[in-house]
Amino acid sequence: MSDPHTRYVRVEKGNPSEEELAALTAVLLARAAALADAPATAPVPLRSVARWRRLERAPGFAGPRTWRRAA
């Protein structure tokens, strides 16, 4: 950190202005500070069953009054 010309961010494409780079730096520093202040929590376990279902596996007709529940 003693070298004043050390690059911490590299622009891959485009030509950002000094104001845009300052805004990006502020956002990155704020996000890093928020992550550092956040309490360490246990990871959320992943679901073993998906919440969605394939429509082609659903029965096409469930009963004579199912149209009332469709809306």
Q: Render pLDDT for 4-53 as a digit per residue (tens, 0 to 9).
A: 778 888 889 999 999 999 999 999 999 989 887 777 777 777 777 777 77
CA dist 44 and 8 (Å) reads 32
pTM exceeds 0.75 for this model: no
In the 3-class helix/strand/coil scheme, how is 18-54 assigned residue by residue? Answer: HHHHHHHHHHHHHHHHHHHHCCCCCCCCCCCCCCCCC
61 vs 15, higher pLDDT: 15
Instruction: State residue 19's pLDDT score.
Output: 95
Instruction: State residue 3's pLDDT score.
Output: 78
CA dist 2 and 35 (Å) reads 26
CA dist 43 and 51 (Å) reads 19
